[in-house]
Amino acid sequence: MNFPIVSTILFLPAVGVLLLLLVPGEDETTIRRLGVAFAFLSLVLATLIWVNVAQLGPEAMQLVERYPWIAEFQIEYHVGVDGLSAPLVWLVALLMTLALFYAARRVHERVKEFYILLLLLQAGMTGVLVALDLILFYAFWELSLVPAFLLIAIWGGVRREAAGLKFFLHVLAGSVLMLLAILTVYFQTGTFALLEAAAARPFAANFGWANIAFWGFVLAFAIQLPIFPLHAWLPDAHTEAPTAAAVLLSGGLLKLGGYGLLRIALPFFPQVFRHYVVNVPLLPILAVLALIYGALLCLAQTDLKRLVAYSSLVQMAYVLLGVSAAAAAYGWLGEPENVNAAASALNGAAWQLFAHGLSAGALFFLAGMLHARTGTGELAAYGGLAQSLPHFYGLTLVAALGLLGLPGVAGFWGILFVFRGTVRFLPVIAYVGLLGLLLTAAFVLWKLIQPLFLLEGKAAEREALVDLRGWEKVVLWPLVLLLVGLGLYPGPLLATFNAALTALLEAL
């Protein structure tokens, strides 16, 4: 394909921003239509990209565009996609389309600015996923930070300024560490090209410097993912953010941290990664602690959005656990059984990124819809909604069971693959991690499903509620159908991920 489709999807949101700047702020109808149209066009392009990658070979970078940018310092405009990045680009485009469609009905203040910031956020997230130059990667990483902060701080809830500032400072601190790590890698390898730098294996003979660069990247990714104990920004940011932004924070922005672990941390520093998994098992221990601690925090919550936010801490811990299991296999990849188990762990991590984007996106939409009806997120204000709101009940149940990892829902495969790989290389960690799975079942059933739908609530409040409207079903059904469809038939997505991640393991 000669058409620069990756650059097109990357800069399409910027074109949308420019057009929105020309529309008078009072013309909210045109602003909403333009925003949704550009997001939907991005979704069409993302679908074409995924199809092309699957046809051309998801194991290698496809649709690559590479041009000099700042030649004096070997900085290039270098983009491309493979079987790891193409599905995540598609996920971002899907969530953005649904978020803008939702916002068309729910956002009534400073609509123009809201839509502009959402499109800029999409450009930043997509740029991180397609960038093959470390400086370009960093630039888009930073670009995604600013609109996310403004969306929380301006359109958020009562504590929006504090929540936005906490988010901004945490992620910015990680970004500074990442920039220092990028420069360290450049001085060692002489290149900012991501794939070339990974192949050069920076500081392979110098553990001290490799250790410093490794933690620069890992801390940045761990904050964004986030991983315990670097998650302090998570509950406030997701709780205070407007619904459309919360969906993109959980479904898109968090995924960049996991993508960074898969794309940079493991390929660049496999020996250091393995050291902190096997010799000093810090990373898998943090993953298991996040599983258990996050589930316990969910059990203690009384606010719906805050509960869903903390559930992301649990779900993203599976990502770190899967990558850690693959890192533990480094040096033992000469045996087919070890390659198979490591590939399973990596596939589970990537699958979890995708599946959690669907389930968390659906749950934040549902939480926002309930809040719009009742004016509160307190679980005690609900109860007994199963009969009066059957559509709400059914869709919430599917999305929640996606967090639980029940067979038949997409989340099952990610958790299964992660534990399948982990039990071979880190058996004790795997068995302890099962406690987190049991606690997840407890908070999903006891703190989410039961208080909302099964326990008796106030009849007067229930009678005032209405079930899902037509436009709300348009927002939710794509996510729910994908959760069930991928749960029953994971083949196409798994084949895409597996080709890219098997190639990653072969390169180690």
Q: pLDDT, tens digit, for every residue of 154-206?
A: 998 888 899 899 999 999 999 999 999 999 999 999 899 999 999 998 988 88
Mean pLDDT on 101-116: 91
Is 329:234 a contact under the CB 8 Å cutoff? no
Q: What is the DSSP letter of 228?
A: T
Asked whether residue 437 is assigned to any structural domain, the reply reads yes
Sign of the torsion angle spanned by Cα atoms 107, 400, 46, 156: positive
pLDDT at residue 324 tops 50: yes
Residue ranges making up the domain that contains 286: 276-508
φ, ψ dihedrals at 76, nearest 5°: -125, 155
* E strand intervals along 23-102: 62-70, 75-81
CA distance 65 to 1: 11
* Structure-block tokens of residue 493: 């997505």
| pTM of the entire predicted model | 0.94
Mean pLDDT on 402-412: 89
pLDDT at 229: 87
CA distance 421 to 438: 19
Asked whether residue 355 is assigned to any structural domain, the reply reads yes
Sign of the torsion angle spanned by Cα atoms 484, 489, 490, 493: negative
pLDDT at residue 2 tops 70: yes
Asked whether residue 205 is assigned to any structural domain, the reply reads no
Is 429:285 a contact under the CB 8 Å cutoff? yes
pLDDT at residue 434 tops 80: yes
Tokens 């925003």 — which residue? 35
Model confidence at 460, pLDDT cuts 50, 70, 90, reads very low
Tens digit of each residue's pLDDT (9 = 90 or more) over 21-51 = 999 988 889 999 999 999 999 999 999 999 9
Structural element, H or E, at residue 222: helix 207-224
Model confidence at 463, pLDDT cuts 50, 70, 90, reads low
pLDDT at residue 418 tops 50: yes
Tens digit of each residue's pLDDT (9 = 90 or more) over 250-264 = 988 999 999 999 999
Structural element, H or E, at residue 331: none
Q: What percent of the chain has pLDDT over 70?
A: 98
pLDDT at 378: 82
Residue type, 106: R
Asked whether residue 99 is assigned to any structural domain, the reply reads no
Mean pLDDT on 326-342: 87
How many Cβ atoms sit within 10 Å of the Cβ of residue 297?
Answer: 21
How many Cβ atoms sit within 10 Å of the Cβ of residue 60?
Answer: 15
Return mean pLDDT, the chain.
91
pLDDT at residue 353 tops 50: yes
Asked whether residue 446 is assigned to any structural domain, the reply reads yes
Is 188:209 a contact under the CB 8 Å cutoff? yes
pLDDT at 158: 83
Structural element, H or E, at residue 48: helix 28-56
pLDDT at residue 355 tops 50: yes
CA distance 352 to 501: 14
Residue type, 434: L
pLDDT at residue 422 tops 60: yes
State how far Cα 123 lies from the chain centre. Answer: 15
Tens digit of each residue's pLDDT (9 = 90 or more) over 298-316 = 998 888 889 999 999 999 9
Give the three-class secondary structure for 213. helix
Structural element, H or E, at residue 49: helix 28-56
State how far Cα 190 lies from the chain centre. Answer: 31
CA distance 422 to 323: 9
pLDDT at residue 465 tops 70: yes
pLDDT at 14: 93
The domain tally of the chain equals: 1
Asked whether residue 419 is assigned to any structural domain, the reply reads yes
Asked whether residue 310 is assigned to any structural domain, the reply reads yes
Asked whether residue 167 is assigned to any structural domain, the reply reads no
pLDDT at 459: 40
As separate numbers, helices (DSSP H) first and strands (DSSP E) second, the chain gives 23, 2
Q: What is the DSSP letter of 380?
A: G
